[in-house]
């Protein structure tokens, strides 16, 4: 308990500092408690400040704590507004600030001396005041938990102000169709920024050689005005595979997007057709289950008889393929099978299976997978090519 006497003492001490109205109110517990001790409970007002700051005299000295920062709220808010201009679609924002350490040190020392505890920090106070001003100017709301835009104010030692802004990442569910063979699915990272996005890679984070990831990135960056999208692929294929039907789905998480509701949804380049299907809040946490229809071209080291085809159809229907992945046994179900003899030593399989079945391994059987085509035919078989005909999420 602090008695009224020592509170009065603290108020006297507070008078020694020249504080602006904002910085004074921030320490106001001292004043409140003094009033409580005197059995009044009206809030601090201008009169009180003036009294404390010198019995009504208006002094034009710089504030001991903020060094005039709070006098510049409107100027700073206007400067912050400029950096929001490039963001064309956002509803909510938050203001963050980095202040020089001397500022905290001064306030800490003052509060230690006056035994002021549990009051708002100068940084909180500043960002709150700026937030109110910016909200009014933008006609948008502040949101602390999940803002679309984060505005950053950096105050230098000499009071110089730098402002920047960054948008919350955008998550897109996309699909691509690949009608020409040859392009690899995944890209290599930009050698300079290693994926962060820089001027060399034009913000994509990838190197130049063409890939599906590269093409998707380029268009998604252009459409959203964002940087270095990160992909979560739903399955994978070979460079020589085609991807048909509605295409392969994938998620793209785009950093610092300038729009949140892209207008353009479709793009085509080098036989690759991309499409933005949905704008989502997050990439799903658990990997989604999906079904893949794959056409597999197989070769065999012996002649294939019609009976072999029949037995494949029979033994693969509704079978569970088991294999090892990172020392865990994984089970993928084959939902349907269609087999056809193509030439003396060639045949084709069209299967619908759980996503993630390793096709080449499933045909060749060199690494552990049970059942596998080589074993079923008791001959050496090989997957020569495979095309993705359809990829569907199995949403239960
Ligand atoms: Zn101040
Ligand atoms: Zn780069």
Instruction: Indicate the Cα dihedral angle 226, 227, 228, 229, nearest 10°.
Output: -20
Please tell me the number of the ligand nearest to residue 110's CA: 1
For residue 228, the model assigns a pLDDT of 86
Write the class of the CATH domain 290-393.
Answer: alpha beta
For residue 206, the model assigns a pLDDT of 85
Tell me the two tokens of residue 210. 């063409």
Share of the chain above pLDDT 70, in %: 90
Q: How far apart are CA 37 and CA 18, in angstroms?
A: 25
pLDDT digits (tens, 9 = 90+) for 118-148: 889 999 999 999 999 999 999 999 999 999 9
For residue 110, the model assigns a pLDDT of 92
Contact 157, 100 (CB under 8 A): yes
Please tell me the number of the ligand nearest to residue 200's CA: 2
Write the class of the CATH domain 170-280.
Answer: alpha beta
For residue 42, the model assigns a pLDDT of 43
Q: How confident is the model at residue 4 (pLDDT cuts 50, 70, 90)?
A: low
For residue 44, the model assigns a pLDDT of 44
pLDDT digits (tens, 9 = 90+) for 337-392: 999 999 999 999 999 999 999 999 999 998 899 999 999 999 999 999 999 999 99
* Parallel, antiparallel or unpaired: strands 381-393 and 290-300: antiparallel
DSSP lists the bridge partners of residue 162 as 154
For residue 5, the model assigns a pLDDT of 60
Residue 167 Cα to ligand 2 midpoint, Å, equals 20
Q: How confident is the model at residue 169 (pLDDT cuts 50, 70, 90)?
A: very high
Please tell me the number of the ligand nearest to residue 193's CA: 2
Q: How far apart are CA 168 and CA 183, in angstroms?
A: 32
State yes or no: pLDDT of 31 exceeds 70: no
For residue 49, the model assigns a pLDDT of 45
Domains in the chain: boundaries:
4-52, 69-166, 170-280, 290-393
For residue 45, the model assigns a pLDDT of 44
State yes or no: pLDDT of 47 exceeds 90: no
Hunting for tokens 């203001």 — which residue is that?
95
Residue 34 Cα to ligand 1 midpoint, Å, equals 22
Q: How confident is the model at residue 292 (pLDDT cuts 50, 70, 90)?
A: very high
Report phi then psi at 303, rounded to 5.
Answer: -70, 140
Two domains, one topology: 69-166 and 170-280: no
Question: According to DSSP H, which parts of the chain are helical?
Answer: 4-15, 21-26, 29-37, 46-52, 73-84, 101-114, 122-138, 212-224, 306-316, 359-364, 373-377
112-116, 168-172, 293-297: range with lowest mean pLDDT:
112-116
Range 69-166 classified under CATH 3.30.2130.30: yes
Residue 13 Cα to ligand 1 midpoint, Å, equals 17
Please tell me the number of the ligand nearest to residue 71's CA: 1
Residues with CB under 5 A from ligand 1 (ion): 20, 23, 63, 65-66, 70
Q: Model pTM greater than 0.85?
A: no
Contact 309, 257 (CB under 8 A): no
Q: How confident is the model at residue 244 (pLDDT cuts 50, 70, 90)?
A: very high
State yes or no: pLDDT of 198 exceeds 70: yes
State yes or no: pLDDT of 2 exceeds 80: no
- pLDDT, average across residues 167-195: 94
For residue 84, the model assigns a pLDDT of 96
Tell me the two tokens of residue 188. 């290599």
Residue 112 Cα to ligand 2 midpoint, Å, equals 48
One DSSP character per residue, 366-396 reads -SSEES-HHHHHTS-EEEEEEEEEEEEE---
For residue 33, the model assigns a pLDDT of 58
For residue 372, the model assigns a pLDDT of 95
Please tell me the number of the ligand nearest to residue 62's CA: 1
Report phi then psi at 391, rounded to 5.
Answer: -130, 120
pLDDT digits (tens, 9 = 90+) for 62-94: 999 999 999 999 999 999 999 999 998 999 999
State yes or no: pLDDT of 192 exceeds 90: yes
One DSSP character per residue, 93-123 reads EEEEEE--HHHHHHHHHHHHHHT--SPPPHH
For residue 7, the model assigns a pLDDT of 66
């Amino acid at each position: 308990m602090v008695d009224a006497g020592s509170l009065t003492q603290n108020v006297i001490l507070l008078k020694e500092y020249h504080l602006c109205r904002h910085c004074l109110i921030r320490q106001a517990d001292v004043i409140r408690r003094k009033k409580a001790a005197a059995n009044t409970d009206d809030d601090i007002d201008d009169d009180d400040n003036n009294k404390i700051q010198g019995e009504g005299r208006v002094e034009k000295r710089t504030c001991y704590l903020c060094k005039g920062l709070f006098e510049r709220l409107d100027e700073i808010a206007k400067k912050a507004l400029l950096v929001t201009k490039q963001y064309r679609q956002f509803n909510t924002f938050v203001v963050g600030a980095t202040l020089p350490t001397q500022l905290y040190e001064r306030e800490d020392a003052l509060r230690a001396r006056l035994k002021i505890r549990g009051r708002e920090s100068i940084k909180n106070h500043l960002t709150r005041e700026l937030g109110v001003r910016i909200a009014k100017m933008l006609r948008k709301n502040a949101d602390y938990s999940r803002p679309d835009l984060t505005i950053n104010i950096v105050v230098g030692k000499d009071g110089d102000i730098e402002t920047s802004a960054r948008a919350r990442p955008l998550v897109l569910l996309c699909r691509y169709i690949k009608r020409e063979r040859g392009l690899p699915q995944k890209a290599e990272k930009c050698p300079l920024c290693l994926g962060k996005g820089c001027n060399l890679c034009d913000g994509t984070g990838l190197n130049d050689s063409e890939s599906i990831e590269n093409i998707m990135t380029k268009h998604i960056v252009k459409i959203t005005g964002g940087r270095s999208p990160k992909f979560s692929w739903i399955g994978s294929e070979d460079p020589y595979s085609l991807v048909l039907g509605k295409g392969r789905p994938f998620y793209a998480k785009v950093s610092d997007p300038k729009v949140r509701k892209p207008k353009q949804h479709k793009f085509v380049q080098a036989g690759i057709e991309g499409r933005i299907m949905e704008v989502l809040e997050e990439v799903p946490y658990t990997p989604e289950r999906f079904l893949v229809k794959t056409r597999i071209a197989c070769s065999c080291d012996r002649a294939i008889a019609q009976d072999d085809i029949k037995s494949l159809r029979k033994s693969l229907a509704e079978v569970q393929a088991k294999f090892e992945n990172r020392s865990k046994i994984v089970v993928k179900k084959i939902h349907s099978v269609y087999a056809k003899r193509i030439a003396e030593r060639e045949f084709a399989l069209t299967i619908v299976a759980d996503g993630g079945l390793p096709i080449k391994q499933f045909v060749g059987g060199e690494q552990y997978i049970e059942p596998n085509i080589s074993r079923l035919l008791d001959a050496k078989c090989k997957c020569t090519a495979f095309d993705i005909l359809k990829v569907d999420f199995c949403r239960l």
